[in-house]
């Protein structure tokens, strides 16, 4: 990870997950996918896990063709899909985002490109920046055969290119269910733009999206 100097801000009342002072992380100019998605007309669903869900949600909420982005938990059971339990790191869940998108505007392979370029560092195992634990793992959760094919192809392409100069640890996980997070986590960057975590960690991701993907950028935040 290419990081700037650490910010030594202590925020009263902060809990562990998604709320630690953070490093500003550089984006990576990922290539267009060699394996393009061929998706039938109509809205589609995709799930991405890449660290704290606030930032992943903020990025996809500014992508043209995305009609909804919802923060939540994937990979574990329904009865432990609560923030306090998931933050213990032993429930099997990953903080993740479920998006609804129109493939006539943005294909699944293009969403993958954005995810790896500005959303997450795929070389960090069971962590993302200042947040540590299995709940912050990198994972793609294909929801159909076509998404599985495209995800496998793009991961292979990125691994061959070695853009990060470290091994990619992003996993492809089966769909075990997605459970929306609590209401106060939804559209968090929209409602809390001055939150220290958003300012230091997630606003740079959204700025990188605008810079690297101007054709797919939309200025308005799409609420979940």
Does some domain include residue 35?
no
Q: Is residue 63 included in any domain, yes or no?
A: yes
- 27 part of a folded domain: no
Residue 129: what pLDDT? 84
For the chain, the average pLDDT equals 90
- Residues annotated as catalytic are 52
Residue at 145 is within a domain? yes
Within a domain: 224: no
Q: Could you tell me which residues are beta bridge partners of residue 100?
A: 45, 68
Strand ranges (DSSP E) for 155-198?
A: 171-172, 178-180
Residue 66 lies in a domain: yes
Q: Is residue 188 part of a domain?
A: yes
The string of DSSP codes covering 9-37 is ---TT--STT-S----B----PPPPSS--
Q: What total number of domains does the chain contain?
A: 1
Beta bridge partners of residue 3, listed in sequence order: 25
User: Using one digit for the tens of pLDDT, what is the confidence trace for 80-119?
Assistant: 999 999 999 999 999 999 999 999 999 999 999 999 999 9
Position 11 pLDDT exceeds 70: no
Residue 107 maps to which CATH number?
3.30.1060.10
Domain containing 88: what range? 44-216
Within a domain: residue 91? yes
Percent of the chain having pLDDT more than 70?
Answer: 89
């Amino acid at each position: 990870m290419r990081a700037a100097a650490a910010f030594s801000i202590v925020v009263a009342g902060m809990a562990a997950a998604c709320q630690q002072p953070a490093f500003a992380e550089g984006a990576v100019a990922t290539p267009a996918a060699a394996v393009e998605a061929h998706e039938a007309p109509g809205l589609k669903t995709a799930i991405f896990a890449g660290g704290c869900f606030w930032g992943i949600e903020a990025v996809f909420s500014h992508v043209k063709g995305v009609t909804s982005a919802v923060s939540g938990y994937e990979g574990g059971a329904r009865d432990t899909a609560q923030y306090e339990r998931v933050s213990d790191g032993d429930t099997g869940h990953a903080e993740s985002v479920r998006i609804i998108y129109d493939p006539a505007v943005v294909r699944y392979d293009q969403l993958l490109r954005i995810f790896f370029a500005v959303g997450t560092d795929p070389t960090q195992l069971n962590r993302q920046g200042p947040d540590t634990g299995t709940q912050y793992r990198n994972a793609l959760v294909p929801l159909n055969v076509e998404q599985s094919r495209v995800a496998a192809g793009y991961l292979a392409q990125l691994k061959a290119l070695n853009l990060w100069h470290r091994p990619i640890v992003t996993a492809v996980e089966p769909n075990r269910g997605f459970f929306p997070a609590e209401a106060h986590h939804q559209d968090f960057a929209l409602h809390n733009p001055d939150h220290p975590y958003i300012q230091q960690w997630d606003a740079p991701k959204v700025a990188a999206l605008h810079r690297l993907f101007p054709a797919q950028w939309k200025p308005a935040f799409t609420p979940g």
